[in-house]
Structure 1
Amino acid sequence: MKKKKFSFHNVRLSKKLLIMYIFSVLIPIVLTNIIFYTVTINNVKQQQMHDSELALNQISHDFGKIIDDAVGISSSLYTNTNINLFLEKEYLSDADYVDDYNTYLRTFNQSSPINPSINSIRFYTDNPTIIYSGGVYPLTEEIKKSNWYRQIMGSSITSPIVLRSSVDDQTSTFSIIRKLDYFNFNNKQKIVKIEINPATIENIFNNVTFKGDVYLLNEKGEIEYSTKKDLGWRKKVIPFRQISNKKKADILDSTYLDQSYLLNWKLVGTVSEKKMLNTVNKSGRFILYLAFINIIIPSIIIILINRSFLRRLQRIFRHVKKMGDQNFEKIPDPEYTDEIGTLTSEFNRMIRKIEELIQDVFMANIQKQEMEIKRNRAQLSALQSQINPHFLFNALETIRMRSLMKEEIETAKIIHNMAKIFRNSLTWGKDMVTVREEINLIISFLEIQKYRFGDKLDYEIHIDHDADECIIPNMALQPFIENASIHGIEPLKENGKIEVHISIEDDLLVCKVMDNGVGMSESKTQQLIKELENENDMGKSVGIKNVYYRLKLYYQDQFHFQLDSREGEGTVIIIKIPNQTRGISKKLNF
């Protein structure tokens, strides 16, 4: 028997997926994670070193900057003639001192820029004629015994000195001290002491990016400041060598401060080996978790894909068999975009076509009969809509003639206006009219309303001469007049007024309808505007909405509609449309 040649086409789909998973997913993931783990551990250690160096340099830069700012202030005071003369002068009375204090020292404090890193500026002098207050202090015997006084007076250089000073047992800061001996008239001892804000010092040294302890060392290698709270450096002098010999440090990085008054001062940072290993171990566990996820997720995906193929193919086979029994049932699966999904979509499309053909054969005659019935009803409705207005119009004309014969002039006038309105409603196919024609229709309506309300209703109509022959859609303004009369003026207890203004502005026909009626609340106004924008729902105010949609249909984006109303004050409606004459409207097929 001849042995069959091996081919992947003879291997079952589930085995193909298993082979693909082992050689394309499992083995590459294991090898990749081993390499990734080794590289990542080394990178984490290097990154820890680099981050510590950057954080320490940042602390050094920030500390040097605030010291520089304070030294800059001391330099401005050192060369300030007014301040030196103020501290040097012999005052004959307290009033003289207060005047000079307000002139020089207070003015200096007000004109100096606010620096949040400076806690205080103090002046010390042995001038006995000065009132010691407001930042000016005497050089007492206690101060002369202090360390900072002996150090500044024993120094022969003119630059300031930087010393650590204690605010309390738990808070320390730094002070910049300088002798004010720049001028030749120095007969008194004058010293300025600028104290740095302790909170600023603490914020700088407690850098969240440095995962360890920071030490500020002076030129002797003694600790001047540290973030380690339990060290006791505030109460006694502690050399850094004593700390470094007792404690192992994985990172010992230092940076020197480059200021001349902080010569050989430096910052030292230490990170314990335990913290370093914790960071590395966390990275290692993360890599293991990631490797586990990379193995589990592909396995789940392979299983899901296998089930997706087989189950959907079996479902298609079952529905194909049902077609033999004339059961045209669609496959309820969503329309997926893979090959099986495309096959399912085509099967459902074929089922829809078969159902449509069946429906076309059986429903064609019924649809034809329904269309004939609808056509007949439409013709009948159109005929009735013509007959009824014609009948009413003829009846009104008869009543008007009899009123004239009886000399009832006012009644005849009102009936004539009503007849004009009915005649306008009978003019089918006349979509566009002139402004004058529209105004004549509005006047007829307002005269009828004035007949109803008497002196309660008054109206004014103002039309520019150039706007008379402009064309607008038929009954474009009348529904707004009707709405102002019925909903605005009629509910009023006192007299009301309707105004119509039509003018031409910037080649636009501007129509404004105003009333001083009851108006609408802001919420009701916004609701009406929202209903106008919703073209799918006519709802209430059908007349206004019909006009709004017609204008929007005619003029599209060239149509501007504005509705403003205030409760108890009235309503204003402004319509702006293109200025067009009858000749232009014919070209635009209106």
Structure 2
Amino acid sequence: MNKIHLNDIRIKNKLLLIYMVSVFLPIVLTNVIFYHVTSENVRNQKIHDNELALRQVTNGFKQGVEDAAGIASVLYSDAFVYEFLDKNYESPLNFILAYNTHFRDINKFTPVYSSIRSIHLFTDNPTVIKAGGIYDINEEVINTHWYQSTLEDRNKYPVVTRRTEDDGRLEQFVVVRALDSNASVTNEKVIMINLNDRFIHQIFANETFEGELFLLNENNTIEYTTDNSIQWQSDYIPFTSIDIPDNAIVLEESYQMQYMSDWKLVGVIPEDQLLTEVQKSLPSILYLALWNFVIPSLFIVYLAGNIHFRLNTIVKKMRRVKDQNFELIEGKPYKDEIGVLTTEFNRMSKKIKDLINDVYIVKIQKKDLEIQKKETQLKALQSQINPHFLFNVLETIRMRSLLKEEMETADIIRNMAQLLRNSITWDKDFVTVKEEVQLIQAFLEIQKYRFDEKMQYEIHLASRAEHILIPNMTIIPFVENASIHGIEPLKNNGKVKVYIEIKDKHLECIIEDNGVGMTESKYQEIMQSLNMDEIAGESIGICNVYQRLRMYYEEHFTLNITRNKKEGITIHLKIPLNMDKEM
């Protein structure tokens, strides 16, 4: 009787035998034992992991509140801030000088702490101008939730509460601290530090915690929760009214801080959720037997036959090479060892040079040039507002302020500050339409101030279009061109009209003026420059807007420049609604 040697067994049978002895049987036995042993370990480990996640959320929110409370304490002890709000100013100019000296230093805390959104000062001092982060303590403010809820304790220490939004929802967290330590002061002064909503959301949106989070105040009512089924924004809801399953695991972390006394963070995790993954694996064990025996066996037979076929194909092609028949092996160049052999055989047969590396380098260089060009175009946009125009306006304001004692100078200075701030700093690529219109109105108010009745304007903004996000400084370059190049050279009175509304899922902007218009040659020059990669000439503002819109929206926007039959220019801009851009 002949003995069977392993080398005499076909490859597919060898693979199947190896699989059964070395993989299938050990896996089945190990899984049965492992399921029972690990179920309890997984449960304990997940509880421990969720405790760590809950503690992480607790410390994150605590750190944000402590940052705000620390800033409030610093400002409370700042004598300059106290004097700034308590002093009776003889004129608005004296207040503006004090504002520029003291209040600007307060804003230095905002960019340092990601948890801080803004700092507001409240006072009932009648000589203080209520603008630019300073608000009046009037009857409306006194009746607000944050004012009443912090009335007893804010003179002693910072108090954490929530501010009521315009729609009546309790959402934004604020830290409130009175700047007066006694009731004998003349003017009431309160500082409010607004916590960043995105920071709060990121803290509580901890993906490692598998249940729902509840932030409770000293009255055991819900201040914040990740459970979307609870309407916690509209009113304070007692935690005891929440339906918690009997088998749920409740974890708790307390806040040991004076201004958050008896606050705590509670995490609720259903018991079955801890072992969901383990329980799901039980049916898998049954299917595993089928998978580990029948399907893998068929796969091994197929794999062995595939290996034999591919190796046999290479051998046949190599035998033909000696007869100078360089026939290529057709098919996809796979990445395994047989695929490497096939690729090298084809490369040898075709006798071609390897150009892949050179082509790759050329493509990288081309992309780098395109990126540099786009960055240059974006940086060029920041200088769109003509410096000579700004200097002329400032000189006009100065001369008229000397000749006339006009209070409107304060408004012009505010508008100029808004324009300068937006043109010099570029902190975000996208703004709302409302913010863009505010900048346009500031610009046109300055023009109207310069030219009196010669300059008129009309702005129509649909309410539903106010919060649509558009690229920063998209509309104002057209308004600037209409005013400077259209209305200023006009001998008679001129008018600029701006219409913004939503039509057919697009934001439609129409800028129209009755100015001197433009010549045919100038019109053709502008239209040709829109499709040029290089930005140059007098139409740099329009070209910048066009190039940026093409970068963001590709070919999904339209820009039409029309020369009116009688006089002036009409700009018609349509861009798709872009609600998911981050500001």
Give TM-score, length-normalised by structure 2.
Answer: 0.45
Higher-Rg structure is 1
More helix by share: 1
